[in-house]
């Protein structure tokens, strides 16, 4: 009889223990990283070559007031007032933002991309609505942050932050205003101390540049973005890292430099990349005229190809003629034995996939509602940059090199896709079922492969000891698209090569930019 009670009671208590005992709180990988403490402050970064600025003084920064005048003392007092009564939320903000301005704004950007990476639902008549920048909150919300859109957003924001920081470093060295804790040694300092002059604030530069471009790229998320800017600036004040005038000058400079990038973005032809019915039909008939089977949307209702004119967008690392010259030769003819063999190979991959292959497919899928492949490579880069203790300006430079390479990769890749308009494996063989979402645009060449080839090449240059690892990751990302049933081997192998060629332009820039 006793046994009757012991067993169920033991079982129930085990269940209760499980229910009450386990904490389910999930932490992000970068929640608990230490404050950024650059090994080298790169004091001469004001001489590095900017991307768009003609000179670092293109947007003048006024000389700061002396650290001895009453106005400055008031600004020190403001910090002390904050520090007198710190809430746990304020401490959290300091910890969060002290990990690095470029890092955190890159994470925020990745979040916005993921949030907006959702294809619009069809209209009742079977056509698809196009998001409108003028009415970003109405459905479908603007933007649809698909991979080309995202690649462009990452590039513009990274490059603007870099240019603005080059200018900031110029003025830092010129004015040489010490950090508030160097002026008043009674001040608490909640971050690692640095010899870097604090005017204008590099953190505010990064925030200002990001926020200004995000207004253009994510106009429906203004409140969220502005809240982050305010939190970022407050964190720097609370930490004792900057006085208010450091922040104000920095934010203004960031915004002014970003405006130059906004003007470029407005004229870079991305706005027209959606195309129209005439163009979509033209791409199809041109392909048929070449004697090939054209790509047809596998969605119901048929969705127009994603941004077919993105290949015409203005590149960052080379001119438009070079962009065209980077387009690879044609894929195997759709009627050829080679194409049959390549299609059969994909069918073999998907008909009985191993768990490991599915893991690889899903690890690299970066499909809808994610930060896209460029975001994935930013995440890979960011985690390695963290361990490098770069200065903010070097963080920005390296992110800009990576993201300009990936935006240019998107341009060349999309040009190639829409030039050849090659069908997907599941179009040629409907028995091919995919292990990830089937992208709604032509197959040749693989976007993942092109992005990954470009990213691995520039990252391998920046962090040579990881070059082999990056190359292996790029290969895996590329292969994942074959395992997933959505690309042929030609798409992937040629994509990787084209990506590497583009990555080399970023390497070339990296060797000559002074950084």
Partner 1 sequence: MKKNIEKKRKRLFIIAFLLTCSVVSVAQTDIDAIMMEKNAFCVGPMYSYSSWKNYWEGTLKRENLNLGRVSTQMYGVMGNYGVTRKLNALFSVPYIKTKASAGTMSGLDGIQDLSLFLKWRPVQKKIGSGRLSLFAIGGLSFPMSNYVADFLPLSIGLRSKTASARLMADYQKGNLFATLSGTYVFRDNIKIDRTSYYTTEMHYTNEVEMPNAMNWNFRAGFRNHRLIAEAVANNWTTLGGFDITRNNMPFPSNKMNGTTVGVNIKYVIPSLPELSIVTGGNTTVAGRNMGQSTMVYGSFFYVLDFSPKAKTAAKKK
Q: Whose Cβ is closer to partner 1: residue 110's or residue 397's?
A: 110
Please identify, using beta-carbon distances, which residue of 426 and 490 lies nearer to partner 1. Answer: 426
Nearest-approach distance from CB 257 to partner 1, in angstroms: 26
Q: Is 438 in the site for partner 1 (CB under 8 A)?
A: yes
Could you tell me the smallest distance in angstroms from the CB atom of residue 339 to partner 1? 19
d(CA 20, CA 34): 31
Cα(401)–Cα(507) distance, integer angstroms: 8
CB of 397 to partner 1, least distance (A): 23
Indicate whether 119 belongs to the interface with partner 1 (CB under 8 A): yes
Cβ of residue 427: shortest distance to partner 1, in angstroms?
9
Under rule CB under 8 A, residue 433 binds partner 1: yes
Distance (Å, whole) CA 451 – CA 49: 24
Residue 56: Cβ-neighbour burial (10 angstroms; 0-12, 13-18, 19+): buried
Under the binding rule (CB under 8 A), the answer on residue 341 touching partner 1 is no
What residues from 448 to 487 belong to the interface with partner 1 (CB under 8 A)?
Answer: 485
Is 435 a binder of partner 1 (CB under 8 A)? yes
Stretch binding partner 1 (CB under 8 A), from 89-97, 176-184, 296-304, 339-347: 296-304
Query: Binding of partner 1 at residue 111 (CB under 8 A)?
Result: yes
Nearer to partner 1, 289 or 355 (CB): 355
Residue 68 CA: distances (Å) to CA of 10, 176, 184, 249 = 72, 14, 10, 19
Our finding on whether 370 is near partner 1 (CB under 8 A) is yes
Q: 41 or 358, CB closer to partner 1?
A: 358
| Residues 103 and 210: beta-carbon distance below 8 Å | no
Give the separation between CA 296 and CA 363, rounded to whole angstroms. Answer: 27
CB of 268 to partner 1, least distance (A): 27
d(CA 497, CA 494): 5
187 belongs to the binding site for partner 1 (CB under 8 A): no
Question: By CB under 8 A, is residue 107 in contact with partner 1?
Answer: yes
Among 301, 335, 464, 514, binds partner 1 (CB under 8 A): 301
**305 contact partners, CB below 8 Å, separation of at least 6:** 275, 280, 283, 295, 297, 417, 418, 440, 441, 442
Residue 310: name the closest of 92, 504, 143, 69 by CA. Answer: 143
* Binding-site member from 88, 277, 300, 387 for partner 1 (CB under 8 A): 300
CB atoms inside a 10 Å sphere around CB 491: 30
- Select from 391, 305, 334 the least CA-distant residue to 128: 305
Judged by CB under 8 A, the stretch of 22-30, 53-61, 391-399, 468-476 that binds partner 1 is 22-30
When asked if residue 114 is in the footprint of partner 1 (CB under 8 A), the reply is yes
Residue placing its CB nearer to partner 1 in the complex, 145 or 265: 145
Smaller CB separation from partner 1, 201 or 440 = 440
Residue 77, SS3? helix
Nearest to 195 by CA among 38, 381, 71: 38
Contact 445, 422 (CB under 8 A): no
By C-beta, is 71 or 383 nearer to partner 1? 383
Out of 2, 88, 125, 139, name the contact with partner 1 by CB under 8 A.
139
User: Distance between CA atoms of 105 and 217, rounded to whole angstroms?
Assistant: 14
Q: Does residue 409 belong to the site contacting partner 1 (CB under 8 A)?
A: no
| 265 binding partner 1? (CB under 8 A) | no
For 374, counting Cβ atoms within 10 Å of its Cβ (0-12 exposed, 13-18 middle, 19+ buried), the class is buried
Q: Say whether residue 110 binds partner 1 (CB under 8 A).
A: yes
Cα 499 off chain centre by: 17
Q: Radius of gyration over alpha carbons of the chain, in Å? A: 26
By the rule CB under 8 A, 135 interacts with partner 1: no
Part of the chain binding partner 1 (CB under 8 A), chosen from 113-121, 162-170, 237-245, 273-281: 113-121
Nearest-10 Cα torsion for 326, 329, 334, 336 = -150
Q: Is residue 168 a contact partner of residue 258, using CB atoms and an 8 Å limit?
A: no
- Contact present, 262 and 217 (Cβ < 8 Å): no
Of 34, 60, 271, 437, the one binding partner 1 by CB under 8 A: 437
- Closest contact distance (angstroms) between CB of 234 and partner 1 is 20
Count of residues interacting with partner 1 (CB under 8 A): 57
Q: Which residue lies nearer to partner 1 by CB, 4 or 54?
A: 4
Task: Give the residue among 99, 230, 235, 245 at the shortest CA–CA distance from 183.
Answer: 245
State in angstroms the smallest separation of the CB of 299 from partner 1.
Answer: 6
Smallest separation (angstroms) from partner 1 to the CB of 447: 17
Q: How far is the CB of 349 from partner 1 (least distance, A)?
A: 11
**Distance (Å, rounded) from C-alpha 30 to C-alpha 103?**
10
Query: Quick one: DSSP state of residue 370?
Result: S
Site of interaction with partner 1 (CB under 8 A): 3-4, 7-8, 11-12, 14-16, 18-19, 22, 24-30, 107, 110-111, 114-115, 118-121, 139-140, 298-301, 350, 353, 355, 358-359, 362-363, 365-366, 368-371, 376, 379, 426, 432-435, 437-438, 485
């Amino acid at each position: 009889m006793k046994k009757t009670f012991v067993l169920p009671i033991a079982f129930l208590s085990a269940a209760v223990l499980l229910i009450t005992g386990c904490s389910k709180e999930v932490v992000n990988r970068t929640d608990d990283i230490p404050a950024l403490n650059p090994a080298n402050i790169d004091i001469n970064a004001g001489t590095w070559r900017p991307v768009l600025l003609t000179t670092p003084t293109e947007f003048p920064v006024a000389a700061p007031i002396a650290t001895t005048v009453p106005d400055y003392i008031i600004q020190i007092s403001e910090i002390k007032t904050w520090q007198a009564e710190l809430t746990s939320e304020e401490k959290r903000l300091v910890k969060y933002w002290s990990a690095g301005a470029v890092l955190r704004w890159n994470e925020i950007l990745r979040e916005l991309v993921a949030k907006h990476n959702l294809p619009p639902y069809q209209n009742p008549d079977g056509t698809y609505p196009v998001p409108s920048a003028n009415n970003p909150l109405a459905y479908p919300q603007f933007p649809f942050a698909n991979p080309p859109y995202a690649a462009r957003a990452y590039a513009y924001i990274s490059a603007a932050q870099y240019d603005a920081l080059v200018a900031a470093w110029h003025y830092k060295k010129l004015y040489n205003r010490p950090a508030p804790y160097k002026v008043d040694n009674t001040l608490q300092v909640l971050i690692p101390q640095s010899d870097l002059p604090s005017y204008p604030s590099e953190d505010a530069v990064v925030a200002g540049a990001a926020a200004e471009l995000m207004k253009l790229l994510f106009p429906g998320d203004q409140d969220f973005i502005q809240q982050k800017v305010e939190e970022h600036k407050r964190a720097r004040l609370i930490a004792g890292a900057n006085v208010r005038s450091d922040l104000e000058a920095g934010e203004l400079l960031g915004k002014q430099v970003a405006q130059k990038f906004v003007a470029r973005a407005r004229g870079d032809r991305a706005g027209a990349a959606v195309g129209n019915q005439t163009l979509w039909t033209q791409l199809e008939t041109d392909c048929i005229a070449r004697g090939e089977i054209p790509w047809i949307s596998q969605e119901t209702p048929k969705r127009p190809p994603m941004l077919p004119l993105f290949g015409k967008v203005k590149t960052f690392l080379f001119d438009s003629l070079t962009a065209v010259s980077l387009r690879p030769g044609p894929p195997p003819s759709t009627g050829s034995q080679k194409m049959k063999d390549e299609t059969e190979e994909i069918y073999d991959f998907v008909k009985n996939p191993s768990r490991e292959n599915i893991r690889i497919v899903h690890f690299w899928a970066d499909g809808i509602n994610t930060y896209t492949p460029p975001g994935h490579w930013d995440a890979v880069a960011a985690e390695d940059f963290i361990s490098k203790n770069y200065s903010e300006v070097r963080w920005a430079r390296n992110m800009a090199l990576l993201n300009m390479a990936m935006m240019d990769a998107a341009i060349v890749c999309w040009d190639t896709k829409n030039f050849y308009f090659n069908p997907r494996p599941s179009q040629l063989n409907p028995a091919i079922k995919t292990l990830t979402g089937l992208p709604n645009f032509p197959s040749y060449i693989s976007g993942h492969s092109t992005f990954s080839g470009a990213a691995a090449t520039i990252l391998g240059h920046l962090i040579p000891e990881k070059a082999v690892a990056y190359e292996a990751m790029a290969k895996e990302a590329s292969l994942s698209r074959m395992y997933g049933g959505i690309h042929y081997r030609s798409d992937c192998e040629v994509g990787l090569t084209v990506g590497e060629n583009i990555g080399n332009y970023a390497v070339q820039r990296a060797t000559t930019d002074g950084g």
